[in-house]
Chain A
Amino acid sequence: ETGVTQTPRHLVMGMTNKKSLKCEQHLGHNAMYWYKQSAKKPLELMFVYSLEERVENNSVPSRFSPECPNSSHLFLHLHTLQPEDSALYLCASSRSGTQPLYGYTFGSGTRLTVV
């Protein structure tokens, strides 16, 4: 248990489905992140929320839609995905401030398979 909880752990969805990934932290952090981890590729930063505002979006396709209703919860809404979107999706949180003293705390990830 890392303090960052991701659900579900595994998800199989068709290309026409709509699903959501959930991330929750109760560490008092005020920044949250979505990363995509594909086989044989570096970690890709998808979205950053700081103080519940989206501050960075690394040119992610619109079929991925993030939502951060409060500082403890982060969602990633998925629709009309492609098979190449199959990956491990990692959520992380941190304190956002003057120094990155603590790094990120990661969840265990959601393994997504698009069929």
Chain B
Amino acid sequence: AQSVTQPDIHITVSEGASLELRCNYSYGATPYLFWYVQSPGQGLQLLLKYFSGDTLVQGIKGFEAEFKRSQSSFNLRKPSVHWSDAAEYFCAVGAINNAGNMLTFGGGTRLMVKP
């Protein structure tokens, strides 16, 4: 079975600083990987996804993520954080089973942005 670990529960960065959120996955085959963002009281919004091809994927809101098979990682990055990026971020790995498409989510990383 697949699993996802987000080692950092909370991260605080200053506005304008760079950001990297860590994600490690466990999956026996080529993974389908996703990053979602959740603002307070809202649902999850897809930031970006990786299926194959270029290991550096671009997403919305200036985010990017890099797939590293050797490290089983899919870390999310942003060069310059804005105050509006404060939210919770979830990494997920997708697979197919008898229930169809199944996403397994990590525990989330809460990002706080200092002025």
A contacts, CB < 8 Å to B? 2, 4, 6, 31, 42-43, 48, 50, 55-56, 88, 90, 92, 94-101, 103-109, 111
Contact = CB atoms under 8 A, between A and B. Distances in A.
Contacts of A55: 98-100
A31 B102 CA distance: 10
Given A4-B43, A99-B96, 8 more contacts: A43-B90, A97-B100, A97-B101, A99-B32, A100-B96, A101-B51, A106-B36, A109-B42
A100 B32 contact: yes
Interface in B72-115: 90, 92, 94-96, 98-103, 105-108
Nearest to B6: A42
Contact of B43 (A90, A98, A99, A103): A90
A17 B43 CA distance: 26
Nearest to A95: B101
B97 to A, nearest CB: 9
Given A42-B107, A90-B43, A103 B100 contact: no
Contact of B99 (A2, A56, A90, A99): A56
7 contacts: A43-B105, A88-B41, A92-B43, A96-B101, A99-B32, A100-B96, A108-B42
A100 B95 contact: yes
Contacts of B43: 2, 4, 6, 90, 92, 106-109
B111 to A, nearest CB: 16
Contacts of A42: 105-108
A104 B93 CA distance: 11
Nearest to A37: B38
A104 B106 CA distance: 15
B99 to A, nearest CB: 4
The 9 closest A-B pairs by CB, nearest first: A96-B100, A106-B43, A100-B101, A100-B94, A50-B100, A55-B99, A106-B44, A56-B99, A42-B107
